[in-house]
Amino acid sequence: KEQLPSIVPPLDDDGAGYITAAGSHYGSYVDLSGDQAKDDKDLIKKYRMIAMHPEVDAAVEDIVNEVISGEDDLLELNMDNVKVTDSIKKQIKEEFNNVAAMLDFQNYAHDIFRRYYVDGRIYHHLVVDPKRPQEGIQEIRPIDALKIRKVKEVKKEKDPVTGANIVKTVNEYFIYSEDKSAGMNNYTSGTKNHNAVKISPDAISYVTSGLLDAGRRKVISYLHKALKPINQLRMMEDALVIYRLARAPERRIFYIDVGNLPRGKAEQYLKDIMSRYRNKLVYDANTGDLKNDSKHMSMLEDFWLPRREGGRGTEISTLPGGENLGQIEDILYFQKKLYKALNVPTSRLTPEDQPSGILGRSSEITRDEYKFQKFINRLRRRFSDLFYNVLKKQLILKGIITEEDWDEWKGDLYVDYITDNYFSELKETEMLRERVGMLQQIEPYLGTFYSKEWAQKNILMLTDDDIKTMRDQIDQEKKDGEIPDQDEEPDI
């Protein structure tokens, strides 16, 4: 397609590595400067590591379970707003089901979305028979995000009038390498390279989180905000364990009077007293026997200190253990901070503190749960690109639609997910109840101070299309006799 003049390349939200060709020719060497590919790999590895932490795993599971709900018929393609014949709709829905079947989404939906959520991106190879492309996609294979990278070659030319660099063409492709540690950092086009393979973008399905770093160069995961809180939580947990091990036991302090003995004899005398009175019984967990292990002394148990002449003589005292071992408010603080970073309501961290049966009372719906449901809806819409990308190529390959048809319909297509989160539904019901109650209060003033149309737009919040649809439906129902016409005389 002919590109309209612009100074920036299109679709700048996929985190692709840019290579700008100087002059009027393409660069022959792809160098992802600043080790950008390596940084992406390190980030993905960090995301996968923190996802195994118990608190992060619990939060991620909450999110995944909200997005992927139910067990049967997890999703379906909604084409109510697409103006095509029923036969075309039926073919498109059949191909959508075929795409879901090739992904084995029914069985692996949880794993697919979790991989997408943790990595912040997901790749699939669309396998097509080159001899029979009209048969469509034959197989969809997942690709590890550590092995593949998207690259854009941008050809710019200087505008003779303004002097600005205008984007002439953009060449996009993927670089695939089996070597996870290298291979994608450098790729030489036009020569054989055993470490990397250049792949057409038509053969790859690529879906990102839509989140970019501050420089808008790298795609980041939804877990990126949790990197700092999880490190702080780990340090606090380790410090708590170390403190408890060091301060938990109550230790004795033995002050032994050594009089005027020289230093060497005083130390020997102290050791004799230790060996004479010290008795350490050790339990062997393998055999179940008790044995005397008094020859070893641990600093966690007793302290033996010499005392010179002039002191108070031999004395035995105790050093109390830690008194605040049960205080974990700082741990809970960082746990809540972690959940906030992951957009999960903190009430889900301690469900025992929440009232039961909350789904039955709309007044108890928290604002955090309502915001959480909106976050889940955004995740679903972004993740739906996986099906849109594959479905588009499948329909065009099989000749069911053209690319122009897809561009015209894609705004009216959307994927319906089965949901079991009723917080949003209860909130909408509560809002509708309040609007109807307000309408009842203002009804005596309709026709005198307020019009019906004003009430429909400002109280019921109906649009012009909604008002027209309601009037048409009411007229049709009156015509069909489903509701009585108030203008007619009642039957006597």
For residue 182, give Cα distances in angstroms to 3, 119, 185, 281, 331: 34, 19, 6, 56, 39
Q: Which helix (H) or strand (E) holds 253?
A: strand 251-259
Q: Specify whether the CB–CB gap between 222 and 120 falls below 8 A.
A: yes
Helix (H, G, I), strand (E, B) or coil at 284: coil
Q: Which residues pair with 203 in a beta bridge?
A: none
Q: Could you give the CA distance from residue 392 to residue 389 in angstroms, rounded to a whole number?
A: 5
Q: Which two tokens stand for residue 280?
A: 């350490």
Q: How far is CA 197 from the centre of its chain?
A: 30
Q: Specify whether the CB–CB gap between 416 and 78 falls below 8 A.
A: yes
Q: How far is CA 461 from the centre of its chain?
A: 34
Q: Which residues pair with 148 in a beta bridge?
A: 176
pLDDT in tens, 305-314: 777 766 666 6
Which contacts of 325-330 are long-range, i.e. CB under 8 A and separated by 24 or more positions? Answer: 325/243, 325/244, 325/247, 325/248, 328/240, 330/236
Whether the predicted model's global pTM rises above the 0.75 cut: no
Read out DSSP for 301-364?
TEEEEEEETTS--SEEEEE---S-TT--HHHHHHHHHHHHHTT--GGGTSGGGSPS-GGG-GGG
Q: Which two tokens stand for residue 119?
A: 């990595």
- The amino acid at 390: V
Q: Give me the pLDDT at residue 91, please.
A: 92
Sign of the CA dihedral running 171, 213, 391, 61: positive
Helix (H, G, I), strand (E, B) or coil at 163: coil
Alpha helices, H only, 398-463: 403-409, 423-442, 452-458
The segments of the chain whose pLDDT lies below 70 read: 1-3, 9-38, 180-194, 247-249, 276-283, 290-303, 309-314, 316, 319-326, 350-366, 419-424, 485-492
The angle subtended at Cα 414 by Cα 211 and Cα 67, nearest 5°, is 55
Q: Could you give the CA distance from residue 118 to residue 230 in angstroms, rounded to a whole number?
A: 14
Single out the residue of 121, 112, 116, 117 nearest to residue 140, CA to CA. Answer: 112
Single out the residue of 344, 346, 396, 395 nearest to residue 373, CA to CA. Answer: 344
pLDDT in tens, 303-362: 677 777 666 666 767 766 666 666 778 888 888 888 889 988 887 776 554 444 444 444
- CB atoms closer than 10 angstroms to residue 40: 24
Q: How far is CA 424 from the centre of its chain?
A: 20
Single out the residue of 81, 34, 54, 33 nearest to residue 416, CA to CA. Answer: 81
